[in-house]
A and B are shown apart, each in its own frame.
Chain A
Amino acid sequence: MSLATMFKRNSLLDERSTWITSIVLIVGMLAVVVLHALPPEHAWHLNGSVVTLLGKYLTYMLLALAVDLIWGYLGILSLGHGAFFALGGYAMGLYLTAQQAPLAPWQTVMAHFPVAALAMVLAPGLLALVFGWLAFRSRVTGVYFSIITQALTFALMLAFNRNEMDMGGSTGLTRFDELLGFSLASESMSVALFVASGVAVLLAFWGCKAVTRSRLGRVCMATRDAEARVRFIGYRVEHVKLAVFVLSAMIAGIAGALYVPQVGIINPSTFAPLFSIEVVVWVALGGRATLYGALLGALVVNYLKTLLTGVMPDAWLFLLGGLFVVVTMFLPQGVAGVLARLRRRREVAA
């Protein structure tokens, strides 16, 4: 098999997965909206809290997408993506509290939605820019990078726990009233936020797909597989890494901003290293470097979490821990890898 046909097949495969994923996402979203619109006494009716829960899953899927973009395509394992998610969330939280009672004088500026919206993207983006620039410039790679990202989110967790930050200390920001003039308590708001999250996931999915299929994406994958060679060919590897890392952080920030109004609170525990590493296992389970795998993994793991923490809370950590071990040992390509292998076997058989 020549390299060209392999490449073609792979891109064809990608093409199909893109279509399937998009259709599943759109149909799923419409279904949820329609089911919610059914009269409450109907057996298939979805109430507002379920819609909100699904909306929360969507923000997690968006975060998983951001992690897959750099881990799957660039080979950079960030154990601190929760930090960018939380920063976006805090920006949203500040906007929501600034409308009623800002915690500090400077926060009144966050009451303007355009400013807040900029902050949701720029705060994580800037952090990623500074941190990534420092790290990639001195060629910190592999496990070293993973460890310092973990240290970063840990440091931020400690910092946001301080009351002097005017970010609510360990309680965080909560008691939100209204978003853009609409009450957050209403059912229509749940649906609106759900739809917004769904649209964000869809757009981010297409955006990431476009990036990975572009020249930039090809250089990314080449960097992942043989960094030194790409550098010797003449690419500025650190610039490529930095660009994608910042993009990924911004997506995570948006995910966090959408997450906060749906769960109604943001506190320093979102910065906890455990959360960030949980995100990694979503992606690992779904399958790296496929994007749809990340979406699938985030949905499945979080659904399991909701299910298990309700029924038998003790079992959840056993299952999560077991997932880490099983996925890394037996499913290195995740569920997406299994699907691809099955399809390939069918094609060979046909």
Chain B
Amino acid sequence: MTPTHTMNRRPGSVSGSQAGTGLRRCLAVVTVLLVWLVGVSPVQAEVTPQRAQALLQALDTDDFEAKAEAAQAIAASDAAQKTRWLKTLLDGRLGRERDGERFYIITDDSGREWPIIDAITFEDAGTGSRRSVDTFRINNDLRTQLQRLIASLSLGAGDEATRLAAAKRLVGEVDAQSAESIATQLDNEESPAVRAELETALALYRVEQGDASGLATLRGNLDTRIRNSLADIANSDSPIAAQAGDVLAGIESKRAWYERGQTLFFGLSAGSVLVLAAIGLAITFGVMGVINMAHGELIMLGAYTTWMIQQLLPGQPGLALLLAIPGGFLVAGAFGILIERSVIRFLKGRPLETLLATFGISLILQQLVRTVFSPLNRRVNSPDWLQGAWQLNEALSLTLNRLGVLIFCLVVFAALWALMRYTRLGLEVRAVTQNRTMARSMGVRAARVDMLTFGLGAGVAGLAGVALSQITNVGPNLGQSYIVDSFLVVVFGGVGNLWGTLVAGMSLGVINQVLQPWVGAVLAKVIVLIGVILFIQKRPQGLFAPKGRTS
């Protein structure tokens, strides 16, 4: 748990010495009069320039408590410039002329010569420098207070988004003075979102004051600041410690549920990668009884296709990605058909030899990519709509690229399923899977089916590569890291069974994610591997055994 600024909050209001301020005000009035006489142009404000000058004048003191009081006064005044004053004061860009009585706002303090404007009229005042303008200094207490003042100021002004942001910042920052202004603000506020935030802020303030009535509002709120404050209260000797503890427990259990949801999402997204990688394998293995060890390299080819299309279309990652979907399918599919026609066809009925030969092909493809593209990893850019995360609430956020892969996986799966279910090719593929000899005697051209199936499986591998390029770097070893896992998925799910592959891939992904926080990533993987090995002992046909007679 990370400590937040809520925990080391200091008491807010400070009381300055009244006498000193009074004297300064007199001086201020005099100086303002003088300045006015000299001829400062009039401003369009609800306060007179004299009053504005006086307000700023009050800031010109070395006593931070007096300064805080002056800031309060500014916030409470009707001056139209007050928000900008406080903001620039916070940034250290509000200052006073060294040899005069004018106040300036430094619009850009990056160089040695600063462009400055008059703080009251906002008119261009040429340039100033460290030698001609003394900026007002602030300390940490003052900074905290200024932030709070600015937040409550922006509450009353601006559009809904600004007010909401201001209200959010207020949570945990409320003190006795601002509590009142927030309460009035609440009456005038119309937006329900802003109202909810304000109510939360007020409720937390009341709870911190030992008032149990605020607790009901806080129940089930996932904000970390609230959780931390409540934890402090529950551990203190406050009269409502026990009640706060109850609410806290409720919040914690809600958080735990969302965290489980997060784990499930990570698991499903890892699982969808496995499914994408394994499903092509499941098709070729199921139909032809062929172990294609080069499958991982076909995935790699799909990923490299994405990278190449992106190189050809610089600055348009979205279009490139969309083009890469058919591109990756075709490139990998073409390589697949080439492999089937040139090697696998001649090794019919010798699964172990096929395994070795395709492994040889995988080595050749890997080295080919290394020679052609370099052994270094390549980065594929994600389009804007796959970057960032979808923040559902404080405890649950879904990374968009992983969500995209999950959806893509389901779409590919549905398409494959429909292909197998409703097309002539699918019918023939299923026939050959069930009984090759019988299918052939019914006039199915098994050799052609083999070729197309292998092409299809390879194409799907290419699609997996396109998806993988969005979540990891593209390199020559990309395929190798997935091949063992995808074989396990196929074996776990049952050979030649699309649903089995889906369920197996997703469950392996989720199991892996659930185990990870307990035992670490590597050991989780080892446990899953051993688990699958043991599972195969029990059910050699996998989760979903193929029905009917297999040849």
Binding site for B on A (CB under 8 A): 77, 131, 134-135, 137-140, 142-144, 146-148, 150-152, 154-155, 158-159, 161-162, 273-274, 277, 280-281, 284, 314, 317-318, 320-325, 327-329, 332
A77 and B355 within 8 A (CB): yes
B352 and A139 within 8 A (CB): no
Main secondary structure of the interface of B (DSSP, over half): helix
23 contacts between A and B (CB under 8 A): A77-B352, A77-B355, A138-B540, A140-B536, A140-B537, A142-B352, A146-B291, A147-B488, A147-B491, A148-B532, A148-B536, A158-B526, A162-B520, A314-B371, A317-B364, A320-B360, A320-B363, A321-B359, A327-B356, A328-B347, A328-B353, A329-B346, A332-B350
Partner of B487, one of A147, A159, A318, A322: A147
Q: How far is the CA of A154 from the CA of B352 in the complex (A)?
A: 19
Contact A154:B540 (CB < 8 A) given known A273-B484, A320-B360, A324-B357 = no
Determine the chain B residues whose CB is within 8 A of the CB of A284 once the complex forms: 356
Please give me the residue from chain A that is nearest to B294 by CB atom.
A321
Interface centre among A162, A317, A322 (most CB of B within 10 A): A317
Contact A138:B538 (CB < 8 A) given known A147-B491, A321-B363 = yes
A158 and B540 within 8 A (CB): no
A144 and B491 within 8 A (CB): yes
Q: How far is the CA of A280 from the CA of B360 in the complex (A)?
A: 12
Q: How far is the CA of A144 from the CA of B492 in the complex (A)?
A: 11
Contact A321:B534 (CB < 8 A) given known A158-B526, A329-B346 = no
Interface centre among A140, A147, A150 (most CB of B within 10 A): A147
Q: Does B351 contact A (CB under 8 A)?
A: yes
Kindly identify, within residues 362 to 420 of chain B, every residue whose CB is under 8 Å from any CB belonging to chain A: 362-364, 366-368, 370-371
Closest 4 pairs (CB-CB, A-B): A324-B360, A321-B363, A321-B364, A317-B367
Tell me the minimal C-beta distance from B353 to chain A in angstroms.
4
Kindly identify, within residues 231 to 279 of chain B, every residue whose CB is under 8 Å from any CB belonging to chain A: none
- The interface on chain B, measured as residues whose beta carbon lies within 8 A of the other chain's beta carbons, has a size of 42
Q: How far is the CA of A228 from the CA of B480 in the complex (A)?
A: 35
A134 and B364 within 8 A (CB): no
Partner of A151, one of B353, B360, B529: B529
Q: How far is the CA of A144 from the CA of B540 in the complex (A)?
A: 8
B484 and A134 within 8 A (CB): no
B370 and A314 within 8 A (CB): yes
Tell me the minimal C-beta distance from B394 to chain A in angstroms.
34
Q: Does B313 contact A (CB under 8 A)?
A: no
Partner of B364, one of A143, A274, A322, A332: A322
A148 and B491 within 8 A (CB): yes
Interface centre among A151, A273, A332 (most CB of B within 10 A): A151
Determine the chain A residues whose CB is within 8 A of the CB of B366 once the complex forms: 317
Tell me the minimal C-beta distance from A223 to chain B in angstroms.
15
Give 4 A-B pairs besides A142-B351, A150-B484 with Cβ atoms closer than 8 angstroms: A139-B540, A144-B536, A155-B526, A322-B360
B357 and A140 within 8 A (CB): no
Tell me the minimal C-beta distance from A316 to chain B in angstroms.
8
Q: How far is the CA of A314 from the CA of B367 in the complex (A)?
A: 7
Determine the chain B residues whose CB is within 8 A of the CB of A146 once the complex forms: 291, 352, 355
Kindly identify, within residues 322 to 361 of chain B, every residue whose CB is under 8 Å from any CB belonging to chain A: 343, 346-347, 350-357, 359-361
Q: Does B523 contact A (CB under 8 A)?
A: yes
Partner of B522, one of A131, A161, A273: A161
Q: Does B319 contact A (CB under 8 A)?
A: no
Tell me the minimal C-beta distance from A203 to chain B in angstroms.
29
Q: Does B33 contact A (CB under 8 A)?
A: no
Partner of B532, one of A77, A151, A162: A151
A138 and B359 within 8 A (CB): no
Determine the chain B residues whose CB is within 8 A of the CB of A151 once the complex forms: 484, 487-488, 529, 532-533
Tell me the minimal C-beta distance from A236 to chain B in angstroms.
18
Q: Does B530 contact A (CB under 8 A)?
A: yes
Determine the chain B residues whose CB is within 8 A of the CB of A148 once the complex forms: 491, 532-533, 536
Determine the chain A residues whose CB is within 8 A of the CB of B360 once the complex forms: 281, 320-325, 328
Determine the chain A residues whose CB is within 8 A of the CB of B227 once the complex forms: none
Tell me the minimal C-beta distance from A305 to chain B in angstroms.
13
Q: How far is the CA of A155 from the CA of B526 in the complex (A)?
A: 5
Q: How far is the CA of A329 from the CA of B360 in the complex (A)?
A: 11
Please give me the residue from chain A that is nearest to B357 by CB atom.
A328
Q: Does B102 contact A (CB under 8 A)?
A: no
Q: Does B163 contact A (CB under 8 A)?
A: no
Q: Does B93 contact A (CB under 8 A)?
A: no
Determine the chain A residues whose CB is within 8 A of the CB of B352 once the complex forms: 77, 142-143, 146
